[in-house]
């Protein structure tokens, strides 16, 4: 049996989703996000997974990578600037994660988009 969430829980999750989207450049720790809506980290993880059908850390990563792709297409920032803008502390870790999930490096993506 799948667990259902109350409307108040869904509204809290929507607030977290909006906060994540608006703050991709920040350190988005689960415990800090949970404090924003006055729940425990475990509760946030569970409710987020139930409602959005994916773990919150994966959702954050996907949001960051999608924003990075948008910025790469605009072609006015360096890869290091984009990495910082989407919350990666180091360009190398950004490049590694981007390549793993997108299938090419940020520079390759940028050059393919220019064609």
Q: Select from 1.10.357, 1.20.1280, 1.10.10, 1.10.150 the CATH code of 7-60.
A: 1.10.10
pLDDT for the residue numbered 2: 61
For the domain spanning 65-114, the CATH number is 1.10.10.60
> What percentage of the chain reaches a pLDDT higher than 70?
97
Mean pLDDT of the 2-20 span: 93
pLDDT for the residue numbered 113: 76
How far, rounded to the nearest angstrom, does the alpha carbon of residue 81 sit from its chain's CA centroid?
17
Phi/psi-derived region of residue 75, left when phi > 0, alpha when psi is between -120 and 50, beta in every other case: left
Nearest to 83 by CA among 43, 25, 41, 31: 25
8 A C-beta contact, residue 59 and residue 48: yes
pLDDT for the residue numbered 112: 85
- What is the CB neighbour count within 10 angstroms for residue 20? 18
Residue range(s) in the chain whose domain bears CATH number 1.10.10.60: 65-114
Q: How far apart are CA 1 and CA 69, in angstroms?
A: 38
What is the tens place of the pLDDT at every residue in 38-88? 999 999 999 999 999 999 999 999 999 999 999 999 978 999 999 999 999
> What percentage of the chain reaches a pLDDT higher than 90?
90
Q: How far apart are CA 48 and CA 113, in angstroms?
A: 33
């Amino acid at each position: 049996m799948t667990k259902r969430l109350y409307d108040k829980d869904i509204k809290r999750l929507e607030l977290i989703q909006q906060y994540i989207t608006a703050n991709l450049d920040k350190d988005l720790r689960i415990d800090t996000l949970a404090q924003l809506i006055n729940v425990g980290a475990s509760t946030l993880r569970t409710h987020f997974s139930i409602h959005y059908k994916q773990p919150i850390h994966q959702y954050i990563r996907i949001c960051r990578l999608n924003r990075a792709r948008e910025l790469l297409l605009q072609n006015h920032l360096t890869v290091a600037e984009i990495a910082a803008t989407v919350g990666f502390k180091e360009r190398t870790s950004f490049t590694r994660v981007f390549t793993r999930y997108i299938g090419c490096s940020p520079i390759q993506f940028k050059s393919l988009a220019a064609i």
